[in-house]
Chain A
Amino acid sequence: MIPELGQFALIVALFVTVVQSVVPLVGAIRGDRTWMDMARPAALAQFALIATAFGALMSCYVTSDFSVLNVVQNSHTDKPLIYKISGVWANHEGSMLLWVLILSIYGMAVSVFGGNLPPGLRARALSVQAMIAFGFLLFILFTSNPFARVDPAPLNGDGLNPLLQDPGLAFHPPFLYLGYVGFSMAFSFAIAALMEGRVDAAWARWVRPWTLVAWCALTLGIAMGSWWAYYTLGWGGWWYWDPVENASFMPWLSGTALLHSSIVVEKRDTLKAWTILLAIVTFSLSLLGTFLVRSGVLTSVHSFAADPTRGVFVLALLVVVTGGSLILFAIRGPTLKGGGLFTPLSREGSLLFNNVLMSTAAGTVLLGTLYPLFADALEMGKVSVGAPFFNAVFIPLMVPMVVTMAVAPLLSWKRGDFAGALGRLKFAFAATVAVAAGTWIAPGGGSGPLWAGRGLGLAAWLAAGTLVEWAERVRLFRAPFSETADRILRLPRSAYGMTVAHIGVAVVIAGITGSSAWTQEKIQVMHPGDVVSLHGYDLRLEGTEDNLQGPNYSILRAHFSVTSGGRPVADLYPEKRMYRQPPRPTTDAAIRTNLLGDLYAVIGDPDGTGGFVTRLYFNPLVPWIFIGAIIMVVGGLVSLTDRRYRVGAPLRTARAMAAQKGRA
């Protein structure tokens, strides 16, 4: 009964999206308010229906209803409750349902919070949202129905892939999708603006916070995925340049560019066409990400069982969405005339410079990700494009970008004082040189590759430059302390957001540099009692315990005691888990961090003589990567709480109305 209810809700939702895509759009074209306003209740109904369907599927999972095929294939009564819940989206059908659920949540948000939007823009944007939802609902209903039944129902399910039974990965997909789908807001508003032929500051002021929400969620989602890969795959790495990782990274890159170019639209009323194009590209890359993950066209360490017909459907959707919107852009784009002019050496100019670098980087990642497909199609042999390619291309593009990141905020709009900005960055320059030199001289530091100093220097440049900009804004040491204190309190939250987020980037850069330069790895067979020295620590294998029981797995646990100069430091307990259903092993690395570096231990297979293969790492600065990502997200959230997002738009309408009254 409940699954049928869910399916029925989905079918009704499909019809609602048809109404929501057509009626408001026609209303907007004919200038009919009643028709336009249809969009708001329709968006609410769409959300209610899809939420019902999602709730129905979740209830099937929680109650382990094995008459539903999807539950049979991905669940088991043994599973802890949290993984029964996360099982809903840990499979193709359920994750697509989550996709449209999030889409409808954003649509509902427009309808609830969009009271002060121009009615035409709102109607058109909601109509575009409904078109996207229509495509995905069609996709779910025809190729990936989560509510399909099995008869007779089996007694128990196949269980969930044990790798997915992990807290980090349980919440990775929802955040990733909040990000992917969040960019649909910018996209819908971009299309609506193209139809109307008008992009103004009010448009940017509405699009910016939603892009920021999506960006924060995507950043967090990527960081979670990376963290999960780090501690669960047991190879000590946190990024693989794997196609599926790239799929989430490309929209992040162009979304970051979009976030920054929409600032220029809001503040300076220029770069409009470019911003619209970025909005289209970012959402298209999100769709491409969905396609790459779901179709299995690329071999990836993350590939899950895939079905080609689904890939074709998503590909068709991608072609329609991207192709259609780019054609619309080609026709209407030239009408979007920018207002404010600026010189290259201005804040706009440097933002644009970084925008171009970001987009180029996203383009090269796209090329590298899809190249194996092209090569295969053109009979050029089967190839794989891996980390060496991406590092060789990506890093040279990012270096000038990061250098600019420290300078840009110090330049004024329109025409910047470049020499003055560099002058004010003296301190940052000194910090850079000090860190780079210090890295080289420090004991052990000089043993790393030459670029390590440059990487840390770059991080120092960005962090110091960002702090200098903040100090300039509050006139630290330049004005009496009371004035500085006053400025500190009054500085807009969005300014703090930028400062915090940019420092987060600096922390990430330092983390990446440290982990790539000084990781130490030791692989060996160890018998109980053996000691391995690693980075000044002595790791002694005390012993192993077999057949410990977890909730739905048995455990082989090793015990390492770690000492440094004879002084005990920590105990590490890496595990190898054998799940009962499906019967499959997973690795659980033991990590001990002191925030400057991680000791990382993995227990491998027995060698047959009582010993075990062990993999021990010292990973310096890796925690900084995740901490930095969290700092970036915090920066985004701080910026979101900026007053003007809450009061800005109504104020503007109120003012406009007051002005009209004054004129009347």
Chain B
Amino acid sequence: MTRKQRRLYFVVLGMLALGAATALVLTAMKDTLVYFYTPSDLKTRHVAEGRRLRIGGLVEQGSVVRQGDEVHFVVTDLQATLPVVYRGVLPDLFREGQGVVTEGKLDGQGTFRASEVLAKHDENYMPKEVADAIKKSGQWQEEGKKP
């Protein structure tokens, strides 16, 4: 095998890998991308039922109700709200008035059935999407910074 042939082998191998990866990525992207919406987005935009999406906002004060192993709560971006139902153990840092991101699907009645409620490791930290969502709704208040 000459140097030239080997280079050709190298290039063909690289192209094949790249091609395979592109094909895989494109097919996977089509089905697996999860879009992020705020409650206001859902009011103005039609989102197909049964599509996986993420919702972010604040957990409305006084909205958390536990019924058996189900938890009902309301996510708000301080402009629009969305009722959410979640079955399972909530993350430790889930609290009323705190930012939350949940993933799941909308059911026919306009309720969001969450399959995941994302935990943050740090309660000082507001998920970026949630902060943006609240800024977008014009309700953002700069929080008192730590010394």
Contact = CB atoms under 8 A, between A and B. Distances in A.
Interface in B14-58: 14, 17-18, 20-21, 24-25, 27-29, 31-37, 54
Contacts of A304: 121-122, 125
A360 B21 contact: yes
A525 B32 CA distance: 32
Given A305-B122, A305-B125, A393 B1 contact: no
A392 B101 CA distance: 24
A258 interface: no
Interface string A368-405: 10010000000001111110110011001100000000
A382 B10 contact: no
A356 interface: yes
Interface in A243-276: none
B33 to A, nearest CB: 5
A384 B18 contact: no
B143 interface: no
A371 B91 CA distance: 26
Nearest to B133: A382
A388 B66 contact: no
Given A356-B13, A389-B29, A613-B89, A381 B125 contact: no
Nearest to B87: A523
A353 B12 CA distance: 11
Nearest to B123: A584
Contacts of A349: 9
Interface string A293-325: 000100101111110000000000000000000
B25 A384 contact: no
B89 A605 contact: yes
Contacts of B1: 341-343
B35 A383 contact: yes
A341 B5 CA distance: 10
Main secondary structure on B side of the interface with A: mixed
A363 B21 contact: yes
B125 A388 contact: no
Interface residues of B, number: 51
B121 A584 contact: no
A497 interface: no
Given A364-B24, A607-B68, A383 B13 contact: no
B80 interface: no
Contacts of A384: 33-36, 54, 103
B92 interface: yes
B122 A344 contact: no
Contact of B125 (A303, A359, A397): A303
A385 B31 CA distance: 11
A368 B119 CA distance: 21
A357 B9 contact: no
Nearest to A233: B119
A528 interface: no
B7 to A, nearest CB: 10
Interface of A: 73, 150, 161, 163, 233-235, 296, 299, 301-306, 341-344, 349, 352-353, 356-357, 359-360, 363-364, 367-368, 371, 381-386, 388-389, 392-393, 396-397, 523-525, 576, 582, 584-587, 602, 604-605, 607-608, 613-615
Given A150-B147, A384-B36, A615-B88, 16 more contacts: A161-B121, A163-B121, A234-B92, A299-B129, A301-B120, A303-B120, A305-B124, A341-B1, A364-B24, A385-B33, A388-B28, A584-B92, A584-B93, A605-B89, A607-B68, A614-B89
- Nearest first, the 4 closest Cβ-Cβ pairs linking A and B are A604-B89, A382-B36, A392-B28, A388-B32
